[in-house]
Amino acid sequence: MDELAIKIEHVSKQYRLGAIGGGTLRGDLQTWWARKRGKEDPNSKIGARTDIKIGERFLALDDINLEVKKGEALGIIGHNGAGKSTLLKLLSRVTAPTTGTISYNGRITSMLEVGTGFHPELTGRENIYMNGAILGLSKKEIDAKMEQIIDFSEVRQFIDTPVKRYSSGMYVKLAFSVAAHLDSEIMIMDEVLAVGDMAYQKKCLTKMREAADKEGRTVLYVSHNMNTIRQLCDRCIVLDHGKVIFNGGVEDAIAQYMGAGESSIYPVSYDFRDNKRNHHFGKQIFVNDFRFLSTDAAKFFSGDPIEMEITLDSSIQVNDARVILRIKDRGNYVKYAGSLSEPFAIFPGKKQKFRFRFDSTPLQEDDYCLSLEIVSADTVGNYHAYDNPNASISIYIFQAQNPDINWAKQYWSNLRLPNLQIIDYKQDECI
Amino acid sequence: MEQHFTTVIVPKTGLFDFHLKEVLKYRDLIFLFVKRNFVSQYKQTILGPAWALIQPLLTTVVFTVVFGSLAGLAPGGVPSFLFFMSGNIAWAYFSGCLTSTANTFTGNAGIFGKVYFPRLVSPISTVLTNLISFGIQFLLFVVFLVIYWIKGDVQPTLYILMLPPLLLHMAMLSLGVGIIISSLTTKYRDLKMLVGFGVQLWMYGTPVAYDMGIVPEKYMGLYMLNPMTPIINCFRKAFLGLGSFDLFHYLISWGVTLVVLFIGLMMFNKVEKTFMDTV
């Protein structure tokens, strides 16, 4: 039997929805007193949303059972809110489980979100000592590792500067370096590579791989970047709604994750017949429905061609009709981007089907919302909109399968336009 | 085959399971925290640790003028400057510890949310950090004491040997009250507002800014139940030779301190595991 590093048995973590308590002692006392007398709670909101009751229980983790062997690199994937971070928080003892037991051997270093509890006023070096001490290492043990840590972090120049002056990249580099070099038996990494640059990410992955292979350390790694999961992990679990829905090989897990979860959120087809139209839309040309072709859910890799079909009824003939696809993300990067079809002709008649292909290359990993409109337009500015079914079509774009670079959308927006071309290069003043 | 694990995380621990042994294992960290607290306290200040001297000195001057000269609340027989200063530095240590340990959970949420270490390390190191400030202030006090002593105005007594237990006493009391408040503030922020005000009220209930002689006899029994009163009195007895040592109330004060600390540890213990969910 292989030696286990971590054993998780029937672990659940429960949270209460809504604000916890009244937030003030007075509020809680009022609630308590009202309950005592069997009266209505004066602090319950009148007309509050009925679908989420304040104080309703919510299971972030639901009866998790998991064993991790020593020296194994385990990937944890799942959609936002699946419980990945909660699981790591329980393991790093930031908060306690509601039920169940977690047992492990040795010490744990963790990087939850960015940074490992650095103190902003202290210098990089002082923070290394503090992190070591938090892990229970003596000053001597930390001294022995100090040079290695500084070298790996690539911030030697700033090591005696307070970390509050660090850039976010420097901060992560140092934090990772500390976590990777201090002799802990278990390393927990949550989305750590999101900030570092490409070269550093590679270095970190190699380091983690080595830690597992050569030093026999156990690595738990959470990421939305499937490529790093592929490179690093031996095994992978998929979490969904607080449950482990898959536990096994990396490729199978990724496949499961892609198809997993709320396919209802990313439906393949839409019916627009009952959608309310504004203005004169839908009078002459009426879009009945919409569907994506050749897919089970509206989830695509960036770069995949997205094929779709619309069905429409028309009472007129339009020779230069076009479909405009408006793309909006759910975050803050892209307010609107448009893709216009080539002109095509619409003849009077019912149930006419048109198919389009959209090149998704510019869209980087995110949740998007599409809407469409049938228009005619020409170069002198004549523009007429025939129908806009107020569609709201959800799609999810994953990172490209073989990306040329890890696109840092938090800095560069998630809409990637065609590459800048280098057209000339002169070396006059540089040495 | 059952495998043995070094660490087992369970939802709840016993009410009296204080993990004091584990805290002891983390003494390197306590030391580093003390250093961190002290260094970061005076970062980006021009005068640095000199602030530890300026604050009590100014307060003492104000007390001497307002409560001593104007209100006439200082006792005869000892220099009123020394009288107020002794009360002041002892009280400053106590209130400093109390207000900063009361902030343990909310103030450290950042680091507590990222890594595990016994949470008790944090308030303990706060209490020790304040001891450094006290040390600086105490040295200043000793300078003045020696000057007055040479002039023959004061006569310190052998009770000076009581200084270490007195400090321990204040540290434990303030730690106890502080962690009770910090455990409650994770849910109820009201108490945060109350702390500054409450400490000030408590000071007026303790003979810091006036001589105990002005307290009416009929309230004396109640007054002496304040655990800080015997401490301040003993402190003054030791260094100024003022008043007499009252063993009975001193022991009551210890009793109160131990009970408060015990309740504090119990509450702290209950809150520390899941406070990240409510803070």
Q: With H, G, I as helix, E, B as strand and everything else as coil, classify residue A333.
A: coil
Q: What is the pLDDT of residues B174-193, one digit of tens each?
A: 999 999 999 888 877 778 88
Q: What is the pLDDT of residues A290-310, one digit of tens each?
A: 999 877 778 888 888 999 999
pTM value surpassing 0.80: no
pLDDT for the residue A17? 67
Q: What does the pLDDT average to over B200-208?
A: 91
Q: How confident is the model at residue B97 (pLDDT cuts 50, 70, 90)?
A: very high
Q: With H, G, I as helix, E, B as strand and everything else as coil, classify residue B173.
A: helix
pLDDT for the residue A411? 78
Cβ atoms within 10 Å of B61's Cβ, excluding its own: 14
- Retrieve residue B248's tokens: 């009975």
pLDDT for the residue B157? 87
Worst-scoring range by mean pLDDT, A11-25, A111-125, B107-121? A11-25
Say yes or no: B109 contacts chain A, CB-CB below 8 A: no
pLDDT for the residue A406? 80
Q: How confident is the model at residue A173 (pLDDT cuts 50, 70, 90)?
A: confident
Q: How confident is the model at residue B55 (pLDDT cuts 50, 70, 90)?
A: confident
Q: Would you call A96 and B9 a contact, using CB atoms and an 8 Å cutoff?
A: yes
Dist. CA A115–CA A108, nearest whole Å: 15
Give the closest-approach CA distance of B121 to chain A in angstroms: 10
DSSP B16: T
Say yes or no: B8 contacts chain A, CB-CB below 8 A: yes
**Cα angle value A406/A407/A411 (rounded, 5°):** 130
Tell me the C-alpha to C-alpha distance, in Å, between residue A149 and each of A116, A122, A131, A137, A158: 15, 17, 12, 15, 13
Q: What percent of chain B has pLDDT over 70?
A: 97
Q: What is the pLDDT of residues A23-49, one digit of tens each?
A: 566 666 776 777 666 665 555 544 443
Q: What does the pLDDT average to over A40-64?
A: 61
Q: Which of A100, A105, A136 sits opposite B5 (nearest CB)?
A: A105
Dist. CA A381–CA B14, nearest whole Å: 77
Q: Would you call B187 and A20 a contact, using CB atoms and an 8 Å cutoff?
A: yes
Dist. CA A427–CA A141, nearest whole Å: 49
Report whether pLDDT(B148) > 50. yes
Say yes or no: B1 contacts chain A, CB-CB below 8 A: yes
pLDDT for the residue A52? 44
Q: With H, G, I as helix, E, B as strand and everything else as coil, classify residue B242.
A: coil
Report whether pLDDT(B253) > 90. yes
pLDDT for the residue A229? 87
User: Left (φ > 0), alpha (ψ -120 to 50) or beta: where does A279 sit?
Assistant: left
pLDDT for the residue B169? 94
User: How large is the ipTM?
Assistant: 0.78
pLDDT for the residue A50? 39
Residues 6+ apart with CB under 8 A from A338: A324, A325, A326, A327
- Residue A416 one-letter amino acid: R
Residue A357: CA atoms inside 13 Å, Cβ hemisphere, count?
6
Q: Which of A26, A96, A101 sits opposite B273 (nearest CB)?
A: A96
Dist. CA A408–CA A157, nearest whole Å: 25
Q: Would you call B10 and A101 a contact, using CB atoms and an 8 Å cutoff?
A: yes
pLDDT for the residue A288? 92
C-beta of residue A314 within 8 angstroms of C-beta of residue A345:
no
User: Left (φ > 0), alpha (ψ -120 to 50) or beta: where does B128 sit?
Assistant: alpha
C-beta of residue B265 within 8 angstroms of C-beta of residue B172:
no
Q: What does the pLDDT average to over A138-162?
A: 89
Q: With H, G, I as helix, E, B as strand and everything else as coil, classify residue A289.
A: strand
Cα-Cα-Cα-Cα dihedral of A183, A184, A186, A187, to 10°? -70
pLDDT for the residue B141? 92
Dist. CA B159–CA B248, nearest whole Å: 16
B-chain residues near A127 (CB < 8 A) = none
Q: How confident is the model at residue B143 (pLDDT cuts 50, 70, 90)?
A: very high
DSSP A263-284: TTTS-SEEE-TTPPPPTTTTSS
**B28, closest residue in chain A (CA to CA):** A133
- Residue B272 one-letter amino acid: E
Q: With H, G, I as helix, E, B as strand and everything else as coil, classify residue A80.
A: coil
pLDDT for the residue B171? 94
- Retrieve residue A372's tokens: 């469409």
Report whether pLDDT(A389) > 60. yes
Report whether pLDDT(A418) > 70. yes
Q: How confident is the model at residue A193 (pLDDT cuts 50, 70, 90)?
A: low
Cα-Cα-Cα-Cα dihedral of A43, A45, A50, A51, to 10°? -70
pLDDT for the residue A55? 55
pLDDT for the residue A46? 46
Dist. CA B253–CA A300, nearest whole Å: 71
Q: What does the pLDDT average to over A130-150?
A: 85
B-chain residues near A96 (CB < 8 A) = 9-12, 273-274
- Retrieve residue A309's tokens: 């079909």
B-chain residues near A162 (CB < 8 A) = 43
Q: What does the pLDDT average to over B41-70?
A: 85
Q: Which of A92, A101, A162 sits opposite B116 (nearest CB)?
A: A92
Q: In whole numbers, what is the pLDDT of chain A averaged over residues?
A: 82
Task: Enumerate residues 248 to 277 of chain B having a beta carbon within 8 A of any beta carbon in chain A.
Answer: 273-277
Q: What does the pLDDT average to over A271-286?
A: 85
pLDDT for the residue A196? 67
Cβ atoms within 10 Å of A418's Cβ, excluding its own: 7
Domains and CATH numbers, chain A: 4-30+52-259 (3.40.50.300), 269-412 (2.70.50.60)
pLDDT for the residue A49? 39
Report whether pLDDT(A398) > 50. yes
Q: Would you call B1 and A1 a contact, using CB atoms and an 8 Å cutoff?
A: yes
Give the closest-approach CA distance of A383 to chain B in angstroms: 55
Q: In whole numbers, what is the pLDDT of chain B averaged over residues?
A: 87
Dist. CA A61–CA A53, nearest whole Å: 20
Say yes or no: A110 contacts chain B, CB-CB below 8 A: yes
Q: Would you call A7 and B39 a contact, using CB atoms and an 8 Å cutoff?
A: no
Residue A38: CA atoms inside 13 Å, Cβ hemisphere, count?
0
